[in-house]
């Protein structure tokens, strides 16, 4: 729709220009340029949608061909290059994964900083993110952030999550929660009564395990970034997809980690004894080297503290 609008706008502008301002040949060249732009955009969208369709069918070689054709029309396009990277990963893998994720910049640390000593030796929290080298992507207005909480000592007094707009000093959302007695995976969701994430903007988050509420320099904390993006071609394919497992594969292929992880986490809660759901969950986490938390339980979270 966008390229149709701009094509009409440019053609209308050319029509109303003073007759003496441009020559007829210049008008023709400009009109041809607009037409070629519209055709390229239309072809790009068509190839991306065909690529997502073949991805859903698990026909990765054909999907790769379509994504490559889309990228030729828009060299360096973020969505096309991400899809190419992920379907190439499926093709090259030695064992057949049901779902996988290939980050653009691999590399993940277990903690951005650690200053406390109130956790058991060798036990640290783990953020369920594919990499700390780039922002994880989401389509959600109010995403969910997942963390593995290790067995902790009684010295943990609280958990704290904060989300910050990188253009602002004050946090967009900040909440303190009661500590979790059991070891497992928690999901902290941005409440729906909070402002939605804006498309294209990066946000920073921190997750802290508070050892001493009166001395925050002893906190053990994690940090990362998230960015909400919008892919109209993916959205159209998702609207034609009937199962959540297929949606998770499409999200992962398109590079939307938060959506893929959240979809599978919700399925694990709904169908805890389903071996197919468990296999998708295992494959996704193994693909980004977080296999040590695969069999950890999903815990209810979180009760806010005053």
* Whether residue 59 has pLDDT greater than 80: yes
Please measure the distance between the N-terminal and C-terminal CA atoms of the chain and give it in whole angstroms.
Answer: 48
The more confident residue out of 224 and 220 is 224
Contact in structure between 62 and 54 (CB atoms under 8 Å) = yes
Contact in structure between 284 and 98 (CB atoms under 8 Å) = no
Q: Are residues 70 and 197 in the same domain?
A: no
Q: Could you give the CA distance from residue 55 to residue 237 in angstroms, rounded to a whole number?
A: 10
Residue-number span of the structural domain to which 60 is assigned:
2-92
* Whether residue 9 has pLDDT greater than 50: no
Query: Residue 33 has what pLDDT?
Result: 46
Question: By mean pLDDT, which of 13-17, 171-175, 223-227, 248-252 is the weakest?
Answer: 13-17
Q: Which of 28, 63, 92 is the last residue of a domain?
A: 92
CATH of residue 67:
1.25.40
* Whether residue 186 has pLDDT greater than 70: yes
Continuous H helices in the chain: 2-16, 24-56, 60-73, 78-92, 232-239, 244-254, 257-270, 275-287
* Whether residue 136 has pLDDT greater than 80: yes
* Whether residue 267 has pLDDT greater than 90: yes
Q: What integer is the mean pLDDT of 258-274?
A: 97
Q: Are residues 268 and 161 in the same domain?
A: yes
Q: Could you give the CA distance from residue 174 to residue 253 in angstroms, rounded to a whole number?
A: 31
pLDDT 10s digits, 141-175:
999 999 998 887 667 888 999 999 878 888 999 99
Q: Are residues 34 and 119 in the same domain?
A: no
**268, 90, 141, 128: CA torsion to nearest 10:** 60
Q: Which of 35, 61, 92 is the last residue of a domain?
A: 92
Q: Could you give the CA distance from residue 2 to residue 280 in angstroms, rounded to a whole number?
A: 36
Q: Are residues 214 and 246 in the same domain?
A: yes
Q: Are residues 176 and 239 in the same domain?
A: yes
Q: What integer is the mean pLDDT of 262-287?
A: 96
CATH of residue 245:
2.60.40.10
Preceding amide of 11 cis, omega within 30 = no
Mean confidence (pLDDT) of the chain:
83
SS3 237: helix
Q: Are residues 8 and 134 in the same domain?
A: no
Closest CA to 226 of 285, 177, 163, 173: 163
Q: Could you give the CA distance from residue 130 to residue 109 in angstroms, rounded to a whole number?
A: 10
Q: Are residues 46 and 79 in the same domain?
A: yes
Residue 303 lies in a domain: no
Residue 105 lies in a domain: no
- The model's confidence at residue 24, banded by pLDDT at 50, 70 and 90, is low
Q: How many distinct structural domains can be found in the chain? A: 2
Q: Please compute Rg for the chain using Cα positions.
A: 23
């Amino acid at each position: 729709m966008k390229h149709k609008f701009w094509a009409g706008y440019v053609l209308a502008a050319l029509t109303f220009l003073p007759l003496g301002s441009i020559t007829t040949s210049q008008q023709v060249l400009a009109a041809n340029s607009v037409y070629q732009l519209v055709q390229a955009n239309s072809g790009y969208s068509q190839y991306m949608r065909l690529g997502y369709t073949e991805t859903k069918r698990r026909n990765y070689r054909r999907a790769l061909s379509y994504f490559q054709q889309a990228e030729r029309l828009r060299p360096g396009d973020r969505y096309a290059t991400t899809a190419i990277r992920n379907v190439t990963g499926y093709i090259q893998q030695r064992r057949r994964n049901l779902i996988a994720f290939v980050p653009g910049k691999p590399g993940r640390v277990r903690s951005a900083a650690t200053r406390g000593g109130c956790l058991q030796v060798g036990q640290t929290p783990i953020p369920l993110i594919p990499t700390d080298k780039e922002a994880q992507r989401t389509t959600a207005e109010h995403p969910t952030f997942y963390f593995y909480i290790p067995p902790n000592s009684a010295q943990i007094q609280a958990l704290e999550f904060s989300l910050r707009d990188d253009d602002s000093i004050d946090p967009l959302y900040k909440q303190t929660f009661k500590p979790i007695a059991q070891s497992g995976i928690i999901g902290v969701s941005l409440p729906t009564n909070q402002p939605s994430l804006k498309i294209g903007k990066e946000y920073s988050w921190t997750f802290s395990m508070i050892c001493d509420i009166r001395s925050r320099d002893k906190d053990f904390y994690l940090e990362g970034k998230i960015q909400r993006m919008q892919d109209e071609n993916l959205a159209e394919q998702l609207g034609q997809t009937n199962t959540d497992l297929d949606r998770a594969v499409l999200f992962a292929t398109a590079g939307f980690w938060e959506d893929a992880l959240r979809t599978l986490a919700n399925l694990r809660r709904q169908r805890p004894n389903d071996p197919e759901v468990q296999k998708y969950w295992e494959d996704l986490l193994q693909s980004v080297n977080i296999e040590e938390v695969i069999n950890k339980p999903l815990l209810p979270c979180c009760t806010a503290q005053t």
